Chain A
Amino acid sequence: MIGVVLRRSPARWFLPLGVVLALGVLIFRSRYWIGVWPQTAAAAQIPAILLSGLAAAAAAWSVTATTRFGMTEQMRAMVVPGWRRELPFALVVTGYFAGVILLCQVVAAVPTARTWPPGFGLVPGYVVMALVVIVLSVAFGHLVGKLLSGMFAAAVAGLAWLLIAMYLGQMIGLGVVSGPVWDEIDLPIVLARLLFAVALLALAIVIPPRSRARADGGWRRKGATWFGATALAATVLLLGVTVAAGSPIKARPPVATDECAGVTVKLCLWPEHAKYLPQIEAMAARLDQMPDSLEVPARIDEYGLTYRPGVPGQTVFTDVPDHPPYFALVEGSMWSVAVSIADIIGRKNIHPCTAPGTSKSDDEYLRAVEFVAWVEAYLVGGTGGPDYHTSAGADRQAAAARGVARAHHGTAEEQFAWALKTKNAFNDAPCQ
Chain B
Amino acid sequence: MLTVLNVQQGYGARVVIGDLSFSLAPGVHALLGPNGAGKTTLLRTLATVDPPMRGQILIDGVELTGRTLDEVRRRIGYLPQKFGIDPAMTVAEFVYYAAWARGVPRPLRRAAVGEALEKVDLLVDLRATKMKRLSGGMRQRSGIAWAIVGNPALILLDEPTVGLDPLQRIQFRGIIAQQRDSVVVLSTHLTDDVEAVADSVIVLDDGAMRFQGPPAELAAVGTAASPGDTPLERGFTSLIVAGARRAET
Binding site for B on A (CB under 8 A): 1, 4, 7-8, 10, 65-66, 69-80, 85, 213, 217-222
Chain A, Cβ-Cβ closest to B79: A74
B73 within 8 A of A: yes
Tell me the count of chain B residues lying within 8 A, CB to CB, of chain A.
Answer: 32
Chain B residues positioned under 8 Å from A78 (CB to CB): 73, 98, 101-103
Chain A residues positioned under 8 Å from B86 (CB to CB): 8, 65, 69, 71
Tally of A-B residue pairs with Cβ under 8 A?
A: 78
Q: B103: shortest Cβ distance to chain A, in Å? A: 4
B99-116, CB < 8 A from A: 100-103
Chain A, Cβ-Cβ closest to B101: A78
Q: A8-B89, A218-B51 are in contact. Are A73 and B102 (CB under 8 A)?
A: no
State whether B88 touches A10 (Cβ < 8 A).
Answer: yes
Q: A46 to B19: give the CA distance in the assembly, Å.
A: 64
Chain A, Cβ-Cβ closest to B47: A77
Q: A62: shortest Cβ distance to chain B, in Å? A: 11
Chain B, Cβ-Cβ closest to A8: B88
Q: A70-B82, A79-B103 are in contact. Are A217 and B93 (CB under 8 A)?
A: no
Q: A79-B74, A79-B102, A217-B48 are in contact. Are A71 and B88 (CB under 8 A)?
A: no
Interface membership of chain B positions 73-103, coded 1 if the CB is closer than 8 angstroms to chain A and 0 otherwise: 1101011101111111100010011101111
State whether A75 touches B101 (Cβ < 8 A).
Answer: yes
Chain B residues positioned under 8 Å from A71 (CB to CB): 83-86
Q: A85 to B101: give the CA distance in the assembly, Å.
A: 7
State whether B69 touches A219 (Cβ < 8 A).
Answer: yes
State whether A73 touches B83 (Cβ < 8 A).
Answer: yes
State whether B70 touches A4 (Cβ < 8 A).
Answer: no
Chain A residues positioned under 8 Å from B48 (CB to CB): 77, 217, 219
Interface membership of chain B positions 204-232, coded 1 if the CB is closer than 8 angstroms to chain A and 0 otherwise: 00000000000000000000000000000
Q: A4-B89, A219-B66 are in contact. Are A74 and B84 (CB under 8 A)?
A: yes
Q: B45: shortest Cβ distance to chain A, in Å? A: 10
Chain B residues positioned under 8 Å from A8 (CB to CB): 86, 88-89, 93
Chain A residues positioned under 8 Å from B74 (CB to CB): 79
Q: A228 to B102: give the CA distance in the assembly, Å.
A: 22
B181 within 8 A of A: no
Chain B residues positioned under 8 Å from A221 (CB to CB): 69
Q: List 29 A-B contacts (CB under 8 A).
A: A1-B96, A4-B89, A4-B93, A4-B96, A7-B93, A8-B86, A10-B88, A65-B86, A66-B84, A69-B84, A69-B85, A71-B84, A73-B44, A73-B49, A74-B83, A74-B146, A77-B47, A77-B49, A78-B73, A78-B103, A79-B73, A79-B74, A79-B102, A79-B103, A80-B100, A80-B101, A217-B50, A218-B51, A219-B51
Q: A154: shortest Cβ distance to chain B, in Å? A: 16
Chain A residues positioned under 8 Å from B79 (CB to CB): 74
Q: A222 to B67: give the CA distance in the assembly, Å.
A: 9
Chain A residues positioned under 8 Å from B89 (CB to CB): 4, 8
Chain A, Cβ-Cβ closest to B69: A219
Q: A30 to B97: give the CA distance in the assembly, Å.
A: 45
Of B47, B66, B87, B97, the residue contacting A4 (CB under 8 A) is B97
Chain A residues positioned under 8 Å from B73 (CB to CB): 77-79
Q: A69 to B101: give the CA distance in the assembly, Å.
A: 16
